[in-house]
Structure formats: structure tokens, C-alpha cells
Amino acid sequence: MTERPVTTTDAGIPAPSDEFSQSIGPNGPLLLQDHYLIQKMAQFNRERVPERVVHAKGGGAYGVLEITEDVGQFTKAGLFQKGKQTDLLLRFSTVAGELGSADTARDPRGFALKFYTEQGNYDLVGNNTPIFFIRDPQKFSDFIHSQKRRADTHLRDNNMQWDFWTLSPESAHQVTFLMTDRGTPYSWRHVNGYGSHTFLWYNAGGAKFWVKYHFKTDQGIKNFTAAEADAMAASDPDHHLRDLHTAIKNGEFPTWTVQIQVMPFEEAADYRFNPFDLTKVWPHADYPPITIGRFTLNRNPQNYFAEIEQAAFEPANMVPGVAASPDKMLQGRLFSYPDTHRYRIGPNYLQLPVNRPKAPVHSYNKDGAMRYENPSDPVYAPNTVGGPAADPQLWAGESWDVAGEITRSAYRLHREDDDFSQPRALWEKVLSDVDREHLVTNIVGHASAPAVTAEMKPRVVEYWRNIHKDLGDRVAKGLGINGG
Ligand code: NDP
Ligand code: HEM
């Protein structure tokens, strides 16, 4: 028999017993001096950090990105140079459900990447869809409230969801995606990822480009039907978590092909629609995807809580060669994520092993709860005593011109800034007959939930008729209204 280590307290002191509390006599009352018992009970009461306010249920794995093509003409970012290999963490998730909710619920899937680059962490916090429900961060908390639970019954409520969506026509493209079978993936290994936003790339000479990221699953897209997803939710709510863990444990490492779409900087102003609108894709015919590399997931975390629950992704983590665009959603997200991490995990979350960069940190930030590494003197900048100094040249290129009056509006400045053309293209050009049939039955099923009122149903039909008359008519027929 292998020799077992002695149990200790968290302070490393040998523990007095694995079974018995200290009592007065074998059946007597317990003693406050039993520090080990008190420590066990008190630590247990503090085991949870708050779950993520969205994307609470998820799982992830480590891997490596390899760049196979030369894109140095578009960006100077070290991780995107040909031949470069960079370690990464990828966390998948559902959006609306809580920590214990079923993996196969109809929802977008989070696709959050953290690259541990030589220039610090680069996080790309995307989804398995290239678009989103809204285009202004002002509406994000309202949107999420409509997807989660009611105030009175604490139940989720499809009526509330349709109320929000039908009053927010910009949601049409994303809701179309969601209601296809891509809303119920077979596994995380079988989803694409998208950076979704438009980002700025700039090269060593300062030339600028607008870029979108696509991560295409090499396993192929594979979805459940609504009935299969429901059955799996009942039989194995952790199916996606189990599938990924098992595949990696068995050496079946999933891979994704990395592609980018590149728009020359000057073309954005006159493009036919706002290229920074998160409810739109860039059609492939306009900006063909270019393959630049591949990444592989090859290592499971050893401790779920430490490495996945406490993983902190933030769209603001960008390295020289990559920068934000005027996408208002991205702008809002730059603030939101580090703010929620400071609340959920603590102000020094970046010192946890899963979040700490592999690049050296020379920051002037210091102290705070649970910090264990601090800058040495000098603790201020500027200084004359050899402290770290910023190099603004590294960031030469991360800018664009802005001018205008302060406003609260979204002017339709581009010819095709409408909400329905792209979901219409999806219905007309991309979906197969079977995909369309499932889209209709999925919508009808969702809008037939008992909570959905008779007044809401015509609004649902109208929403889909705006995308395509046939689609709206088929939904009306399924819902048994409007003579359908
Ligand atoms: P394309 O015909 O060039 O591209 C259509 C793309 O749609 C495919 O390349 C595929 O991209 C994706 N797709 C295929 N089947 C489905 C499905 N069942 N559900 C959702 N997406 C699917 O046309 P466009 O580029 O002009 O786009 C037409 C429409 O396709 C868009 O309005 C949008 O709704 C949808 N689409 C477009 C994407 C883009 O980046 N241009 C990306 C995804 C969807 P993929 O392999 O990335 O899933
Ligand atoms: C998680 C806010 C839009 C993808 C989160 C979290 C917050 C948040 C607060 C929880 C983070 C945590 O506790 O770790 C917002 C806001 C948005 C927005 C304010 C819009 C203004 C989006 C969009 C996408 C996205 C557009 C995808 C393109 C994700 C993902 C996660 C997440 C993948 C989970 C990250 C992880 O795995 O830890 N979001 N979000 N979000 N969000 Fe968003």
C-alpha cells in the first residue's frame, strides 16, 4: 500500500481526526477550542464565489494556437506571426442558465479564448454565432433580465422573451440563428466560434485594417434537434462538459481552423452597412475568410473551480497590433468584464494562476485583498530611479478619427442599415429545407409555451413576417392564428 500523507489543517498542522469533533465525553457537547472543526465548517460556508451573472454554466480546456500563414502585413501582434505557437484557454458556456443548468438548452454558446502571449494576455470573448441580439450596451441588462427569471414567480418566461425581442427588431438576425438547430449544438467540440465584433489591426508600419475572427470547428457542425436536446437535458444535463472532458482524456483533441476577414481601413466609411454593427455579418463574398492557422485543445484542467470557475476573460485585454473598433457593444464590454471580475473574484483576480499572464508584469498597481505579488520600489511613475517606463511606440496605430456632436441615437448612415436583410438571406439562401422546417417548429414550440399570451402571438408572427413572408406565414399556421 502506498504511504498516505497525514491530513493537515489549511495551516499545514497535522489534523487531530478525520471523523470526530472534540467533545466532553463521547456523547457530550462540542468545544469551541476545536479549531479544526471550526475551520472545516467556516471554509465550507465560503466555498462559492458568486456565479457569473451570465454564462454561469460552462467548461473549458487548455490548448495551443499555431499560426501557419503570414499576416504580418495586417498586424504586428506577436501571437499572429507565422510559425508562432501560443498557449490558450477556451471556456464554453450557455448564456442564461445558472451554474447547474442543462448544457443542451436553446441558447447561444459562449466561446471565450485567452491567449497567454509574450506581450501579455489577449482575450477574445466571443460566441458560437457571429452576431448578437442588440447593438447598444444600454440594452444589455434589460435583454438579459428578459431571458432569466421573473421577479414574482422566479420562473423563466417565454412571453417576456418575445416581448423584448419583438420590441427590439435588431434582435431578428440573432434570434433566427438561435431558433435554428444551431441553438442546440450536439457538443462544444462541434460549434464554430466567432470574435463577433469588428476589431482594429495595425501593422509595424502603422497601416490599419478592420478584422473579424472565425474559428471553424474541424469536427464539423453537429446539432441536436429540439427533441434530442430536451431528451439529453433530462438524461445528462452535463453532456457537453462530459463530452469535452472525455474526448481530451482519450487523446481525441478537438481542433478549430482560424480564419479572418479583413476590410481595408478606408472602406468602412462607405460600406453598404455599418461594419461595426454587431447584429450584422460581413458577407463572405465581400470579404472572403482567410485561413491563418489552427488551434487544438489538448489538456483538461485539473481543478474546475481554480481554473474554470475563477477564469476571468475580458475583451479589454488586447495586445499591441490589435485594438477596439467603434462597435458600441465592444466599447461597453471593455468596461463590464474587469468590473464584474473585481466583484465576483476579487480585485487581484489577475494574480490567480489561470489568469496571470505568462509575460512579466511590471505594473504600478499595488496592494488590495489577497495580493501576494507587489511591485518593488519605486511605486510611482514618473520616477528617476529606474522604474518601468511605458513605450507609446508599441501602440502607434491603435486609433481612428472621430468627430461629431454628443448624441443618444443610432443614425442610419449606411444604405443597408436595416434589421431584416441578413436574417432574410439566411432563410432564403443558406438554410436547407430541413433547416427551415426545424426553424419553424422550434419557433412555434417556443412561442407555444403556456406563458405566451394570445396577444403576444400576432406580434411573434409579425416579427417573422418582417424577415420573410413565408416564414411568418408558416409560424402563424403553427400557432394557429391569422387564418394560418
Ligand atoms: P455565404 O453563403 O457566403 O455564407 C453563408 C454562411 O452561413 C456559411 O458559410 C456558414 O458559415 C453559415 N451557415 C451555413 N449553414 C448555416 C446554418 N444552418 N445556420 C447558420 N449559418 C449557417 O453567405 P453570406 O456571407 O452572404 O451570408 C449569408 C447569411 O449567412 C448571413 O446573412 C448570415 O445570416 C449567415 N452567416 C454568414 C456568416 C458570415 O460571416 N458571412 C457566418 C455565419 C452565417 P459558418 O461556417 O461560419 O457557419
Ligand atoms: C460573460 C457582460 C455582450 C460573450 C459576461 C459576463 C458579463 C458580461 C458581466 C460575466 C463575466 C464573468 O463573470 O466572468 C456583457 C455585456 C455585454 C456583453 C455588458 C454587452 C454590452 C457579449 C457579447 C458576447 C459575449 C456580444 C459575444 C460576442 C460572453 C462570454 C462570456 C460572457 C463568452 C463568458 C466568459 C467566460 O467563459 O467566462 N458578459 N456581455 N458577451 N460574455 Fe458577455
Catalytic residue flag (residue 45) = no
Beta-carbon contacts of residue 468 (< 8 Å; ≥ 6 apart): 424, 427, 428
Question: Which of 27, 35, 55, 159 does the annotation list as catalytic?
Answer: 55
Cα 284 to middle of ligand 1, angstroms: 8
How many CA atoms within 13 Å lie on the side-chain side of 141? 3
Mean confidence (pLDDT) of the chain: 97
Q: Residue 255: enclosing H or E segment and its boundaries?
A: strand 255-264
Q: Which is it for strands 193-194 and 199-202: parallel, antiparallel or unpaired?
A: unpaired
Tell me which residue has its CA closest to atom 13 in ligand 2. 52
E strands in 351-399: none
pLDDT of residue 13: 96
Q: How far is the CA of 418 from the centre of ligand 1 (A)?
A: 18
- Give the CA distances from residue 219 to residues 256, 273, 455, in Å, rounded to whole numbers and listed in that order: 8, 33, 43
**For residue 25, is pLDDT > 70?**
yes
Written as nine digits, the cell of 63 is: 490548448
The pLDDT of residue 18 is above 60: yes
pLDDT of residue 410: 83
The three-point CA angle 227-223-189 to 5° equals 135
Burial class (CB in 10 A: 0-12, 13-18, 19+), 202: buried
Q: Could you count the other beta carbons within 10 Å of the beta carbon of residue 175?
A: 21
Q: Is the pLDDT of residue 483 over 70?
A: no
Confidence band for 411, pLDDT divided at 50, 70 and 90:
confident
Interval 282-318: pLDDT, tens = 999 999 999 999 999 999 999 999 999 999 999 999 9
**Closest-lying ligand 2 atom to the alpha carbon of residue 335:** 19
Q: Is 180 in the pocket of ligand 1 (CB under 6 A)?
A: yes
Nearest to 128 by CA among 61, 64, 181, 56: 181
Report the C-alpha gap between 412 and 277 in whole angstroms.
Answer: 11
pLDDT computed for residue 2 by the predictor:
76
| pLDDT given for residue 199 in this prediction | 98
Using CA atoms, how far apart are residues 13 and 19, in angstroms rounded to an integer? 17
SS (H, E, C) 129-191: CCCCCCCCHHHHHHHHHHHCECCCCCCECHHHHHHHHHCCHHHHHHHHHHHCHHHCECCHHHC
Helix (H, G, I), strand (E, B) or coil at 377: coil
Q: Is the CB of 182 under 6 A from ligand 1?
A: yes
Pocket of ligand 2 (CB under 6 A): 52-55, 58, 91, 93, 110, 112, 125-127, 132, 137, 140, 196, 278, 311-313, 329, 332-333, 336-337, 340, 344
Give the separation between CA 484 and CA 474, rounded to whole angstroms: 7
120-147 pLDDT per residue, tens: 999 999 999 999 999 999 999 999 999 9
- Quick check: is 127 catalytic? yes
The pLDDT > 70 percentage for the chain reads: 99
Share of the chain above pLDDT 90, in %: 97
The alpha carbon of 443 and the centre of ligand 2 are apart by a number of angstroms equal to 25
User: How would residue 482 be classed by pLDDT, with cut points 50, 70 and 90?
Assistant: low
* Alpha carbons 229 and 235: distance in angstroms, whole number: 10
pLDDT digits over 3-13, tens only? Answer: 999 999 999 99
Query: Which single residue is written with the C-alpha cell 518593488?
Result: 376
Ligand nearest to the CA of 137: 2
Best of 336, 339, 343 for a ligand 2 pocket test (most atoms within 8 Å of beta carbon): 336
Residue type, 158: N
Lowest-pLDDT range of 58-72, 366-380, 401-415? 401-415
Q: Which ligand is closest in space to the CA of residue 281?
A: 1
**Best of 51, 55, 334 for a ligand 2 pocket test (most atoms within 8 Å of beta carbon):** 55
String of DSSP letters for 99-122: TTS-TTSSS-EEEEEEEEETTEEE
Residue 182 has what pLDDT? 98
* Averaged pLDDT, 421-425: 98
Mean pLDDT value across residues 393-417:
90
| pLDDT exceeds 60 at position 484 | no
pLDDT for residue 409 is more than 80? yes
CATH number for the segment(s) 53-161+181-360: 2.40.180.10
Q: What angle do CA 178, 184, 185 make, to 5 degrees?
A: 115
8-state DSSP, 308: I
Catalytic residue chosen out of the listed positions 35, 121, 127, 274: 127
Which residues are registered as beta bridge partners of 259?
214, 291
Better-scored residue on pLDDT, 482 or 387: 387
- Give domain limits for the chain: 53-161+181-360
Counts of helices then strands in the chain (DSSP H, E): 12, 10
Rg of the chain over all Cα atoms, to the nearest angstrom: 25
| Count of CA atoms in the C-beta half-sphere (13 A) of 15 | 16
Look-up: residue for cell 481601413? 265
The DSSP bridge partners found for residue 110 are 93, 127
Average pLDDT, integer, range 171-186? 98
Q: How many residues does the chain have?
A: 484
Handedness of CA 425, 468, 436, 169 (dihedral sign): positive
Whether residue 214 has its Cβ less than 6 Å from ligand 1: yes
Please give the pLDDT value at position 311: 98
Instruction: Output the pLDDT for position 282.
Output: 98
